[in-house]
């Protein structure tokens, strides 16, 4: 089971960076990391990232039940998305759910983001698939995301946004930003014509690299 050293500090730093990169607005989105004892540190519901401090973070178990929380704080409403990912994948230690504009455009139109850029495939594993629709905050959102995440570092959540997984919050934030950049490039390329995907043989080779990168 993979975990993050000093998970609270890593989660808080990534949460503030996510806001400054424009990958979320207000209090939207959420970040978590798995600790050595198997518990999960997650951002709280309805707290500004600018003002968020370490003691605002919530610790939950893999059922989503709070183990430790400051008075007045509760875990993100998307906690079941996070716990579904941790239960499904022992080789990840961080989950980030975000609402980047271009990636969410693909999620709203239920379209996968094709792998057209080398770096994209190396860090994500191939096309970013769009999950089947499920209501926000439900267990179904997590279950559908896990299906779309098989062999991938990110997946689109239908009509909602993006989820990314990996070994630590900083790496998962990089994946999130890379997917958003790629979504913008594909969207722009479609204005010029149909984007040309990477050859399947090349994608398979990059997928092998991704399997190594996933745990580093």
Mind giving me the DSSP string for 64-113? S-EEE--TT--B-TTHHHHHHHHHH-TT--EEEEE--HHHHHHHHTT--B
For the domain made up of 7-213, the CATH class stated in words is alpha beta
**DSSP code at position 63:** T
Q: What is the pLDDT of residue 54?
A: 97
Length, in residues, of the chain: 216
**What residues contact residue 88 under an 8 Å CB cut-off, 6+ apart?**
146, 149
In terms of Cβ atoms closer than 10 Å to its own Cβ (0-12, 13-18, 19+), residue 16 is middle
Q: Domain spans of the chain?
A: 7-213
**Kind of pairing between the strands at 154-157 and 58-60:** unpaired
The whole-angstrom distance between residue 87's C-alpha and the CA centroid of its chain comes to 15
**Alpha-carbon gap, residue 44 to 49, rounded angstroms:** 10
Q: What tens digit of pLDDT does each residue of 39-88 get?
A: 999 999 999 999 999 999 999 999 999 999 989 999 999 999 999 999 99
Q: What is the pLDDT of residue 44?
A: 97
Other beta carbons within 10 Å of 47: 20
Q: What is the pLDDT of residue 117?
A: 85
CA distances from residue 24 to 41, 116, 186, 193 in whole angstroms, order as listed:
19, 25, 20, 29
CA distances from residue 11 to 37, 106, 201 in whole angstroms, order as listed:
16, 27, 36
pTM of the shown model: 0.95
CA-derived radius of gyration, the chain: 16
> Could you report the average pLDDT of every consecutive run of 10 residues in the chain (216 residues)?
96 96 90 98 95 97 95 95 98 97 97 89 93 95 98 97 98 97 95 86 83 82
Q: Are 8 and 41 in contact (CB under 8 A)?
A: yes
């Amino acid at each position: 089971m993979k975990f993050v050293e000093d998970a609270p500090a890593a989660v808080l730093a990534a949460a503030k960076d996510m806001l400054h990169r424009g990958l979320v607005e207000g209090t939207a989105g959420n970040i978590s990391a798995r600790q050595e004892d198997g518990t999960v540190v997650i951002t709280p519901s309805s707290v500004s990232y600018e003002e968020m401090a370490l003691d605002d973070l919530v610790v939950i178990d893999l059922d989503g039940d709070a183990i430790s929380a400051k008075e007045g704080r509760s875990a993100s409403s998307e906690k079941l998305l996070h716990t579904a990912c941790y239960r499904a994948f022992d080789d990840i230690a961080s989950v980030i759910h975000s609402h980047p504009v271009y990636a969410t455009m693909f999620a709203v139109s239920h379209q996968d983001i094709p792998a057209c850029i080398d770096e994209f495939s190396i860090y994500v594993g191939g096309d970013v698939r769009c999950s089947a629709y499920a209501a926000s905050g439900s267990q179904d959102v997590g279950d559908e995301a896990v299906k779309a995440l098989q062999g991938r570092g990110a997946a689109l959540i239908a009509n909602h946004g993006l989820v990314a997984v990996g070994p630590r919050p900083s790496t998962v934030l990089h994946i999130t930003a890379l997917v958003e950049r790629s979504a913008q490039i594909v969207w722009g390329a479609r204005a010029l014509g149909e984007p040309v995907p990477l050859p399947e043989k090349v994608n398979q080779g990059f997928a092998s690299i991704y399997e190594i990168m996933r745990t580093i």
